[in-house]
Structure 1
């Protein structure tokens, strides 16, 4: 199967790790930046993979930048991306704790997460920056990682990354006591809990990150009941010898908006001395207990669930130290090693929409792990330089895979078609 270069103009094109296909599976969304690590794109765009026609989705103004765009899974004209601050200055410029999510539709941007950085804080608002926004399967809830401005003012160490969600049930209005505060279209809460000094050998975590929704409709618990809403994320534990060990954690989430307003042990909105806390009834549960270094942090990847919610895929080194693809049930238990390759898995990954396979980069090729064959299937030829590690994303129909390559000094978008009827 031959790969197809989709973009050709002399700019860097950056895909997000998932949800980069428009709902109809005809176009890809991306941002433009001079290098992968620089957040300086002024626009987000879409490109038709058949014709190569490019359309600008949104252009930032007043010195702001935008990027890390994802597409709504059901609405072909609705997107979300990170938006940096307008009129940035020395005290307030783009950083992990100074950014927001915006819903893009019709060329307009609506801020997702309200920001309130002066006490008393507002329920449903956050106090800092959100990052990598992922729609749930129906597009009605959004997950993201979060960094807190208020704690950052105390010290960098106290600004611990967490996982938060946005609920569409009601907008949030902020009194705007500070010029950088703003309203939000969604009700937002932090759902993970971090500890500044985790007890070695415990399930306490220093930070939470790389989250993913579990299942298109949740998952089945050990009691045989459906847990409709849940997230998996990587939590950084501390071993008895002081090593930081990334492990997988689950948070089961309530369905009713009223449950997100019930205060638990600490204030949901946070205090001047503490991060915002999860609402009552939301507790994180550890499901991996690694004997070695834990979940692989390189290549960077995000936990992704099978469509039926029965498996969470992740990367971890085997006993030889080779990074392999694994899965585990959201109920816990022993993880299952899928690949047994000689070389490391080289990228983030996504599931086929039917759950029949997972695609990623291996041995400088785009490959599929085929659950039926229990083997790797190569889709592209091995090249001297590997496809880029950040994104290998299956289309909604499962007939194409999008990825990136560095070509003649620029990062370009490519697709490869999965022509076998089995995959379409």
Structure 2
């Protein structure tokens, strides 16, 4: 088996290290940002610091210490500036306001001014709700390629009191939202958890609690990704400047819930309300801005293995925005990489490997490769040919590359990921990097 890259362990401290599924590299490709949640997958939100490590020296800098009982995590870098955005849980949590999907926010810290966090999104829990403020929690914040708008997933506190949807009120459903730098959003301080935000935030997907079977209605929007570095070209040749691909849960005619690929085209002006106020009401979810267009791209209910499958992953677009990559099983039940045009059509199976794709994935900056884990190795697949290249030797199950992240650097020469490493009779997540030697690349031999 041909080894075609040089692997290096970057972190060594006996504590947790968690990478987000994208955006972990500094703009110069020399630093990696991570959080310090203690469990391997990061499912327990108990991290107290956001840190960066230099991949050449191993030097660690702490960017943020959470205080007053709050926790922090899921950090990503700005694509051009030395600042990071991440989740911050509630300070001074109380019995009725603990960390949860609807009780969290995004904050931004400048690398050169650590521990000074500014609020990304505003929160307003008292009606009438402030346009540009959220009524709940935001999660997994990722800048677009220009470093202007930020995407996130969202859950609503105001409607979380309702357990079943009726004609009189809706319920909380997971949706996708964005924050844009349109000026500081000021909210009234009539609730102790209200706060201002530096960006204006809106929900951009439309969900329904009880989708009609066989329709394009969805009851959950999640795991989104920006489309292209400058949007994508529509079929008529015009450019859609901003769009997000995301997974949407539909109900098939058989009554089964599966995930399909959706896209939402975003208007340039996100301040205009459509049929329902963008800030929502006491009984209605926040509504996408006027001009938002949501489309379903995949229709896989008739497949042998319908719907998006495999490890948890976020949809990722090619840099030119023409293709959206996702994971789905082939007819043999093996999870493969697939792509679909941003304009729709039939999905194309990219990989035909005997092993399932085993992680979230990212595209190389030039769009030539997709990095992922497979068969206990870090690998990358050539988009033009579908051939997969093994970058690290096959590991045993204990210290195999983890599924949460496999992230190309901005210079396209490195990939960051996590392995479990034993130390002092315990095992810890540690950050590793492979540096690519392209003159050594050979196709994987099965």
Fold shared per TM-score above 0.5:
yes
- Deviation, structure 1 residue 261: 2.2
TM-score normalised per structure 2: 0.92
Question: Out of 58, 76, 84, which is 2:64 matched to?
Answer: 58
User: Is 1:63–1:88's contact at 8 Å kept on the other side of the alignment?
Assistant: yes
* Deviates most, 233-242 or 367-376: 367-376
Partner of 1:70: 76
Q: State how 1:178-189 maps to structure 2 within 5 Å.
A: 178-189=191-202
Structure 2: distance between partners of 1:88 and 1:233 = 32
Q: Distance in 1 between matches of 2:439 and 2:155?
A: 44
Choose the corresponding residue for 2:408, options 391, 394, 402: 394
Structure 2 match to 1:283: 293
Q: Given that residues 295 and 314 in structure 1 are in contact (C-alpha distance below 8 angstroms), is that contact kept between their aligned partners in structure 2?
A: no
Distance 1:33 1:189 in 2: 28
How many equivalent residue pairs? 419
Contact 1:296 1:323 in 2 (8 A): no
Normalized against structure 1, the TM-score is what? Answer: 0.97
What's the counterpart of residue 86 of structure 1? 91
- 1:199 aligned to 2:250? no
1:412 and 2:430 are equivalent in the alignment: yes
State which of 18, 21, 26 in structure 2 corresponds to 1:22: 26
Determine if contact 2:6/2:436 at 8 Å carries over to the other structure.
no
Is the contact between residue 352 and residue 386 of structure 2 (CA under 8 Å) also seen in structure 1? no
Alignment of 1:111-130 (within 5 A): 111-130=119-138
Q: Is the 8 A contact 2:142 2:151 kept in 1?
A: yes
| Shift in alpha-carbon separation, 1:302–1:197, aligned structure 2, 3 A | same
Which secondary structure does the structure 1 equivalent of 2:393 belong to? coil
- 2:160 match: secondary structure: helix
CA contact (8 A) 1:117 1:181 kept: yes
1:152 is aligned to 160
Alignment partners' CA distance in 2, 1:282 and 1:253: 5
Task: Provide the rounded CA distance (Å) in 2 between the counterparts of 1:295 and 1:59.
Answer: 40
**Structure 1 gap segments, 5+ residues each:** none
Unaligned stretches of 5+ in structure 2? 166-170, 442-446
Correspondent of 2:100 among 92, 95, 103 = 95
Does structure 1 retain, via aligned residues, the 8 Å contact 2:222–2:248? yes
Alignment of 1:104 with 2:109, yes or no, is: yes
* d(CA) in 2 for partners of 1:127, 1:388: 34
1:371-391, Cα deviation, whole Å (9 max, x unpaired): 344311111000112210000
1:239 aligns to 2:243 (yes or no): no
Q: How does 1:271-350 map to 2 (within 5 A)?
A: 271-290=281-300, 291-292=302-303, 293-350=305-362
Match of 2:274, SS state, is: coil
Provide closer, same or farther for how the CA distance between residues 68 and 188 of structure 1 changes in structure 2, counting only shifts above 3 A. same
Q: Which residue of 2 aligns with 1:40?
A: 46
Q: Does the CA contact (< 8 Å) of 1:301 and 1:347 recur in 2? A: yes
